[in-house]
Amino acid sequence: MNVRKFIIALYFMLFVGIGVTSAGFFWQTRREFEQLKLQEAQTRARLAELQTRLAEQETTLKRLREDPGYVERVIRRRLLYAKPEEFVFRFPFED
């Protein structure tokens, strides 16, 4: 009978050991899954932001290709160009 109790105790310890090990792997996997979900949410937010920015840039590019008035306004504003009969006044800004 003593051998039988020993075998049952051995199986019980083996079962508990496998259970604890499995729980550890499950806990670690669950933590990794939560981190990946968070990373996916951040990546999706960044993707949406970049898609919005791309749409704005495509609109600007389309206007630069098709709207001469817009091209003129951009050149005047960014490069400070003027027509020959116009004057450009530049004022120093103090902070």
- The pLDDT tens digits of the residues spanning 38-71 come to 999 999 999 999 999 999 999 999 999 999 999 9
Q: Concatenate the DSSP letters of all residues of 36-85 into one string.
A: HHHHHHHHHHHHHHHHHHHHHHHHHHHHHHH-HHHHHHHHHHHH----TT
Number of domains within the chain: 1
Give the domain extent around 33.
2-79
33 inside domain:
yes
pTM, entire model:
0.59
Confidence of residue 95 (pLDDT cuts 50, 70, 90): low
User: What pLDDT, in 10s, does the model give residues 3-39?
Assistant: 899 999 999 999 999 999 999 999 999 999 999 999 9
